Structure 1
């Protein structure tokens, strides 16, 4: 443990050794980020920069922050979800890796907001966000801090939606890179990561058999596709609900039953929302759910299931029937089970995405931060796309780690693709 620790508010610094073991275990499955760490250590592309981050405090995130520290940055971290913080990882980030951390598992909303404000006090040059809460706070309550902020990154669909709204209204004052919108992030993190980790969270919280049961997936974006695939692979009957005609058609063509939520509600056994919108499961749906129906959310915020409506329908005090599984008893005796308080079930009831998946997402994030550090002067405020070469470089790093080789274009093929006269 370092004798001079950065400013922090964590549950127990004594957990730092256990946290370091967890971080090192995750690092074994993050070869692309390890190579970037080594490059950053040599080149120091982030020397002198201050970074404020709002992210899930997990072992995978810790490895990203280690790479940023190796590149020369000072880093302050707040949690992006009250339930996802690993207290041992938080302790290790402070004591072993020199990161300012303000995060505790299970903190209340007031503490969550206070921690976001605290990390902004580092007067950041760069913002790393997961859901746009940090950017939102800086713009609405601490705009004076943006004088030194040159840009940032957003890694969730929900956050990018909010950023685009800010930009459309002329309110976004810095360039924010939509890391979420890269092919590696959407295809692997959203599809494979969310699909597997959501099922993991549901299984840990309920120990329920999915085979033969009806799983309703609300939303058929990349996250919903991955979740539907994994649920079907475990033998579940999968029903998809959608508002987008193209995505609904895609689900139908893949063989899923597509229904409005009003028709899916009476037949479903397990419901998972992954839309990025609010009130997807409302009072009229809750009123017709089966006894024992399980409700879970894998969208970023806890607004996809109408929790006030669930509270108002319950006649018995909510009780925890299993860790991260709360039972609500309705007037007619039906019992509805809510997982992880309606927050991200894959992080509230499990450990989030596998490290191998986050390796790609955080490799893109690390390279994008370095690119921002060197190119921010050429960028205007607004939502910025990740340079295509970064996405390609990360894919190549992952292929190399997997021992997979691919073809190169021949000169004749390159000429053919670059000339319409051929």
Structure 2
């Protein structure tokens, strides 16, 4: 193959071993893979995927390929690629991959454009950079596109904004909205992998530290819970009164970021918004404060403002940049402000990505069957797909549950019975 761009093809064997290891924890996706191989529901479908290039994503790619899809994969973040996995997909499965960990923004978008040169019938996105670039630069491809899927909160927000502006030209299924995605992937996956990334980057002890979580969505809930489990004194900042109330009732201290900035030792943003930690927050932080982000884009921390306040920047550990401020303090930024769970760690555990990527695979199948009925807007994953994935996951975990009797079904559908 010549149509790929990865760091080093000699890494392929190690990537294959790690793909196999991840597959052990992905029984739902394996069951879909086996069915797809028999039924070939995606035969003839060209798919351009812009996702984090990890072992779990690799198992999704091979599942889509088993279903008959012709796939190209590019990275959805410059720091999220596992180079051995990228090489393995090219070497073993002949899937074109355009992704190199640490690539600059010019290369990142060159790779996205290469994925669009595949002339896809379907997009599979994580953050909506692929879809956004397609709509801005390659509108000639739009007539042939059936639809797409979107993996993460940030991407869904962008796509719903496009739909509201009548700028979205094909239907999208918001995989992120599936209960089997955001309940588990966002909460348990982000919670665990974000702490993993922070610890790998810094090797700091979390016990006894004031750990500030910016945002109390599903990712924030998971992160706050796990930081507390590691012994941290957790503070939550929020703008939504309902989420702030929930965090308070969950036992966390809740306060504005400006107050939290004065007492925090470690900060992590998980909001999907811009400048959540800004210049006026940096001005009151302790010297030595550690600041990370686990949202999709590197805009949640205003790093340009921090640079303006600094005399120099030193790389003191891999993925740890120490900013020396003009007043003598230091502030450490992890992973260039990019999502730390993938910048310095391996992303979510395979067992939660099993459900997320099962949603991707089944949503792709659904889109092939139903695209002509769908409008140019963002749809949630159909409930029957969501429940089937939950059923398969329970079955794989050897967990049995009750089923309703005919009498119970009848009772729940009636209104006559009362006190």
Q: What's the TM-score once normalised by structure 2's chain length?
A: 0.99
2:28 is the counterpart of 1:28? no
129, 139, 142: which one aligns with 1:146:
142
1:189 alignment partner in structure 2: 185
Instruction: Tell me if the contact between 1:266 and 1:288 (Cα under 8 Å) persists in the aligned partners.
Output: yes
SS at match of 2:263: coil
Q: Within the alignment, does 1:309 sit opposite 2:314 as a pair?
A: no
Aligned partner of 1:412 in structure 2 is: 407
Aligned counterpart, 1:41 = 37
Residue 178 of structure 1 contacts residue 386 of structure 1 at CA under 8 Å; is this kept in 2?
yes
- Within 5 A, what are the aligned runs for 1:196-215? 196-215=192-211
Instruction: Within 5 Å, give how 1:89-168 maps onto structure 2.
Output: 89-168=85-164
Contact 1:292 1:334 in 2 (8 A): yes
Quick check: 1:360 aligned with 2:331? no
Please list every run of 5 or more consecutive structure 1 residues that lacks an aligned counterpart in the other structure: none
Matches within 5 A, 1:162-181: 162-181=158-177
2:70 aligned to 45, 70, 74, which one? 74
Runs of 4+ with >6 A deviation: none
Distance 1:151 1:119 in 2: 16
| Alignment gaps of 5+ in structure 2 | none
Contact 1:6–1:94 (Cα < 8 Å) also in 2: no
**Cα-to-partner distance string for 1:373-416 (whole Å, 9 max, x where unaligned):** 11111111110111101000110111011100000100001111
Q: Matches of 1:155 and 1:6 in 2, distance apart?
A: 29
Deviations 1:98-134 (A, max 9, x none): 2111111110000001110111011100000000000
Question: Partners of 1:228 and 1:87 in 2: how far apart?
Answer: 30
Is 1:225 aligned to 2:229, yes or no?
Answer: no
Aligned length, in residue pairs:
417
Two-structure CA RMSD over aligned residues (Å): 0.7
- Alpha-carbon deviations, 1:190-223, whole Å to 9, x = none? 0000000000000001100111110000000000
Counterparts of residues 202-351 of structure 1 (less than 5 Å)? 202-316=198-312, 318-351=313-346
Alignment of 1:382-401 (within 5 A): 382-401=377-396
After superposition, the C-alpha distances for 1:332-390 in whole angstroms (9 at most, x for unaligned) are 21110000000000000100000111001001111111111111111111101111010
Whole-angstrom distance in 2 between the partners of 1:16 and 1:203: 27
